[in-house]
Structure 1
Amino acid sequence: MEKRKKLGEIFIENGTLSEKTVARMLKISQRLNKRFGTLLEELELVTGEELAAALATQYGCRVASNFAGFAFAPELLSIISVDVAMQNHIFPLKLDNKRLALAMADPTETRIVKNIAANHGLTIVPFIATRNEIYAAICRNYLQKDVSKSTTTTVLVVEDDKLIGTMFGDFLSRQGYRVVFASDGLEAYKAVLTERPQVVITDLYMPKLDGYGLFEALRSVPELKAIPVILISSSVHPEDEVRAFERGFFDFIEKPVKEGTLITRVKRALQFYERKYQIS
C-alpha cells in the first residue's frame, strides 16, 4: 500500500510553499496545537481552494465546489442536523441508491462519517470542499439566509429587553459599529452563523437559551470559538462573575451598563479578536 503523502510535501511539490515555510509552520502548528492545514489557511499562506485541492490529492478524493448557491431538498438535509454540519464542517450533496455524497473540509473526521453511515444505513462518498463553501451552503439551506459580506466591524447584541438592547445599539452605532440584534440565545446562535460578528454581547438570563448555553454552542463550532463573548448580568450574586471567567467568557459587565464601560470593553475585545492569529 502506497504511503500517503504529507500535506506539506504536496504544497512543496506543487510550488505553493517552500520547504523552509513548511518546516516553520509545522513547528508553529505543534506549538499552538492547531491543525497544519487550518493554520496555513488562517494565516493566508494558502487559499481555501489550494488547501482543498491538496487534501483531495492527499486522500484520493474529488473536490466539490460552487454548490453553496444551489437549493437542496429538505429530505437530504434532514440526514444531518445543522449543529452536526457546523461542528464538523460537512454538508450533504446528493443521495443516490443509499450512497451519500458528502462535502467535507477535513477528511480525517472519520468518526462522524462512520456514525452517519451506521445511523442511516448509507455508504459515504467523501468530497473535499472549502470551509467557506460548506459554511455558505449551511447558512443558505439550513438557515435560509446568506452569509453576510459586510466589511464593517459587527457587534451582536443579545438582549431580551428591547429597551436595553436598543440603548446598547445606540452606544455602539455612535462608534461606527454595525449592530445586529437577537432577543434570545437560539436567535443569537443563528445570527452568529450568518452575520459573522467580531464581538458578541449577551445577557445571562434569556428565554430558550441563556448566555451560558449560547456560549457553549459557539464554542462547539471551530469557526466561532475565537469570537470574544462579553456576558452582561443584573445578578447580585458575586459568583456569577467568577463562573463567567471560569467558563471562558472574554469579559463580564454588571448592569446597569454605562456607555463608556461598554465601548471600552468592546474595543478591548476587538483588539483581542484582531490579534488572535498573531504569532510571536
Structure 2
Amino acid sequence: MQIRKRFGEILVEAGVITDSVLKTALQAQKKSGLALGRILEDMGAISDWDIACILARQFNLSAIQTISAPVIPENLQQVIDCDMAIKKNIFPIELKDGLLKLAISNPLDFDTLDKIAFKTTLRIEPVLATPTEIFKAIKRYYMHEEPTKASAPNKVLIIDENDLYRGIVCANLRNAGYQPFFATSTMAAVKLAMQENPHLILLSTTGNTAHAKKLIQNLQNNVVTQSRPVIALAAISSPEEEAALLSMGFFDVVFKPVNYVRLLARIERTIRFFYHEQIPHR
C-alpha cells in the first residue's frame, strides 16, 4: 500500500519551501490550529496556485490555473446551481461524452462528487483549481458579472532584513490589493524606489533610536523617497518610542507584533491623507 506523502513534505521535496520554513510553519500551526497551507500562504512562502498544484500532485489529479467560459447544458445547471457552486466551491468546466470535468478546491469532498455523479449519471473528473479562480468563474457564469479592469494597485515599499517577517507583510499587503516591493536596506530601498516610485514606505526599526534616525534620514535625503510617507514598524512598544519616531519624521508608527487589520487601516488612512485618494503620477 502506497503511503501518501504529507503536504509539507511534498513542498520541501519540490523545492517550493525550505525545511526551516516548514518547521516555522508547523510551529505556528500548533499554536493556531490553522491549515498548513493557509499558514504558509500568510507567510508569503507559497501562493494559492502552489497549494492547488501540490494538492493535485498529492491526490494524483490535474490542475487548472484559469477557467475559461464553459458551455454547460441547462439540465446540468439545475443539478449544479449557483447556490451549490458557491457552497461547495465547485464549477463545471466541460461536459463531453458522458464525462464531466469539475473544478474543485477540496480534493477530500468525495460526498459532493458522489452526489453529482448519482444525480447526473455522469462520470466525474475532478480538476484542482484555486478557490479564488472558482469564485471568479461562478461570478462570471452564474451571476453574469463581467470582469472589470482593475485599477493599478498602490505600491508599498517594505524595508526589513528579516526574510520571514518581510514575507508575511508582503503576503498580507498583496491579499489586500496592494503591490508590495521589498528591500533589506535603505540604500537598496532608495534604488528600488527610483525604479518603482512607491506610494508609501514601511520601515522596520530595531528599537535602536540612533539606527532608526539614520534610516529615515537616508530616505529623506533622496529626491524620490523624501516626499513619500514612511510608517515605522517598531520593535519596542512604548509611548516614548512612538514619540521619538514621530519626531524623526515617520508619519505613523505600528508596533510589532503587527496586527494586520490595524496596519492596513493605517496604510489606507495615510494614502488618503497624502494623495486625497488619488494615486500619484509616476
Query: Normalising by structure 2, what TM-score?
Result: 0.50
Decide which structure has the larger Cα Rg and report it: 2
